[in-house]
Amino acid sequence: MALVTGMSGAGRSTAAHALEDLGWYVVDNLPPSLLPRLADLGGRTSGEVERIAAVVDVRSLAFTADLRAAVEDLHAHGSRTRTLFLDATDDVLVRRFESNRRPHPLQGIGRILDGISAERRILEELRAAADVVLDTSTLNVHQLADAVARHFGAEDGRGLHVTVMSFGYKYGLPVDADLVADCRFLPNPHWVPELRPQTGRDAPVRDYVFAQPGAEEFVTGYAQLLQVIAPGYEREGKHYATVAIGCTGGKHRSVAMSERLTGLLRERGLDVSVAHRDLGRE
C-alpha cells in the first residue's frame, strides 16, 4: 500500500491521478482510521487489486495520531506501506491557493500563511518518516507525474533506488535531497563564450568540466562513498534516496557531474536514475 500525503496545494490530486495511470487503485480523502480496513478489502480481491494507494490529509483534527496508529496496525498485519510526502515552498503554496481562490483548510479566520504554518507543524514528524519526499515547487503536472512514476511505477521489491539530481544554488537547495554535494569548486563554463549556451549534456561542456583538476577524483570518490552508504540505507529499510549535486545555475557543471555519477553508479550495480531540476530555467 502507498500513502499519499503532504502539504495542501503541493499536488496530492496530481500524484493520485499519476498512480491511477500506473495501475494503482486509489482512494482519495480517506480517514486514516479506515486504512487497515482498505488493506483488508484489497487482500480479499484474489489478486485483482494488487496495489492500493490512499490519499490522506490534515482535515481530521486527530490526523497525526490516527495515521500513526493506522500505519502501525498495517505493519503489524504484514502490510508493507510506503509514504509519499509532497511539499512546496510557502510562497509557491500561497500563489497556488490565491490562483484557485480557495482558503487553506487550516487557516480559519487567519491568513493563508497561518494555515500553511499550522499544517507544517502537524506534518513535521510524518515528513521526516516518509519514504519519498517530493518538492513540487518548480514542477508542472507532467513533471510531477514523471517523478511519481520513477518512484512508484515498478514493483517495490527491488531494494534501493537512487535519484541523482542536478540543481542550481541560486534557485535554492532541494528540500527532498538526502545528500547534497557542491561542485562549484570547478571553473564555471558559463564564462567561456562558446560553452555558455550549451549544457552539461553536451560533449564540449562535459569535456571542459572533466578536464579540470579534481573533477574526475570528485565524481569517482563520490561514487565510492555512495557504494558504502547504499547498503546501510537498505538495512534501515530505505527504498529511495535522492543525491543532489549543485552548481551556480544548474546548467553546466552539476548536469555533467550528475550524468557521469549516474553512469558510474549503474556500472557498480545500483538502481539509479538522473533528473535535472533547474535545466532550462535560464
pLDDT in tens, the chain (282 residues): 888 999 999 999 999 999 998 888 898 877 777 787 787 776 666 556 678 888 887 765 456 666 777 777 776 766 778 889 999 999 999 999 998 888 888 888 899 999 999 999 888 888 888 888 999 998 888 889 888 888 887 654 457 889 999 999 999 998 889 999 999 999 999 999 999 999 999 999 999 999 999 999 999 999 999 999 998 988 776 778 899 999 999 999 999 999 999 999 999 989 999 999 999 887
Residue 5 buriedness (CB in 10 A; 0-12 / 13-18 / 19+): buried
What pTM did the predictor assign? Answer: 0.62
DSSP-assigned beta bridge partners for residue 180 = 244
Residue 43 buriedness (CB in 10 A; 0-12 / 13-18 / 19+): middle
Q: Name which of 152, 157, 161, 131 is nearest 23 in CA terms.
A: 152
Say if residues 250 and 167 touch (Cβ distance below 8 Å).
Answer: yes
3-state secondary structure of 59: coil
On the CB side of 46, how many CA atoms lie within 13 Å of its CA? 0
Say if residues 138 and 247 touch (Cβ distance below 8 Å).
Answer: no
